[in-house]
Amino acid sequence: MKLEYCIILVTATMVFAGCGKSHSPEGEPSGTAAPSVSSPKEERARVRADGAVVRDSAVAFSTMGKVVAGRYADLSFEAALPVMRVCVKNGEHVSRGELLVSQNAYVLRNAVEQQRHAVEEARLQIEQARLQMQDVIIAQGYDPDATVPENVHHIADIKAGYALAQSRLAAAETLLASARHQLASATLTAPFDGIVANLTVQPHQLVAAGEPVCRIISIDEMMVEFRVMETDLTHYPMNTRVVVVPVADKTHCHEAVVSEINPVVDAQGAVTLRARLANGADLFDGMNVELRRIED
């Protein structure tokens, strides 16, 4: 009987001891607690002078975004003609004024030549009309080099067709300017320094008027567009510095500065911001990136 009593006593002691270890004095579990939702302990990212990312233990604010071209130009032809030359390829760096793509402009050159002859012919017609007008004025008994009554001058003008010849010259000059513009538009050149993208044409291919041929992106004006909730907007005021890390290559990082805040809250309660990259030459338009605010 004593032996059984001792066994029961020892067992009860062990049970009470185990219960005491599994709870804290306040009644909370003593194991590893889940991180607090309201005050998470995360890493804070900052950039050193050598460009390396240093992460400190602090509350950080991060979000996802996309690289966007701050300046670009979609180029197209104004006439539907076959492509003659393609001098560039996608991803190639070009300088302002550099030849990109040209059309077979034989028809356009002929149109310019025809309109040039039309202008010359209109000028000859004006000279002929001027001489005829002088003859009419002399026939009326006036000296064409002296002051002629307005009604007499008007009648001479109508009979000689001088005003009509002037109108024809103006129309011919307008058509010549239009033909020259069409000829110039058959050659696409880079409007500024940048990189070629979305090039889709090949030699001898017929391109419709107004159809985009290629895009020139200014790599010196790359930006990152991202959205933050309205409640987090105070963490990203103008000129806030952020670290930009491409999702495709997290070993590289870039620095950007918030330069635009769209003053509209969308239906999801978010605000769109843009940050200008200090150097985005190796980033692509539309690339997914992660952004972290840089703490001073």
Instruction: Supply the CATH number for residue 240's domain.
Output: 2.40.30.170
Instruction: Please check whether residue 24 lies inside any domain of the structure.
Output: no
pTM (2 decimals)? 0.65
How much of the chain, in percent, has pLDDT values that exceed 90? 56
Residues 111 and 188 in one domain: yes
Domain count, the chain: 2
* Cβ–Cβ under 8 Å, residues 65 and 292: no
Interhelix angle 106-139/150-160, nearest 10 degrees: 130
Instruction: Please check whether residue 20 lies inside any domain of the structure.
Output: no
Residues 227 and 286 in one domain: yes
Q: Which amino acid is at 216?
A: I
Residues 187 and 259 in one domain: no
Residues 276 and 169 in one domain: no
Instruction: Please check whether residue 108 lies inside any domain of the structure.
Output: yes
Residues 59 and 159 in one domain: no
Residues 105 and 240 in one domain: no
Residues 165 and 276 in one domain: no
CA-derived radius of gyration, the chain? 39
Instruction: Render pLDDT for 25-57 as a digit per residue (tens, 0 to 9).
Output: 444 444 433 322 223 334 444 444 444 444 444
Residues 227 and 117 in one domain: no
Residues 170 and 245 in one domain: no
Q: Regarding beta strands 93-94 and 99-103, do their DSSP bridges make them parallel or antiparallel, or are they unpaired?
A: unpaired
The strand pairing partners of 86, in sequence order, are: 101
Residues 111 and 194 in one domain: yes
Rounded mean pLDDT of the chain?
81
Residue 141 binned pLDDT confidence (cut-offs 50, 70, 90): confident
Residues 87 and 200 in one domain: yes
The strand pairing partners of 257, in sequence order, are: 241, 276
Residues 141 and 109 in one domain: yes
Instruction: Supply the CATH number for residue 128's domain.
Output: 2.40.50.100
Instruction: Render pLDDT for 247-267 as a digit per residue (tens, 0 to 9).
Output: 988 888 899 999 999 999 999
**Domain hosting residue 153, numbered range:** 72-216
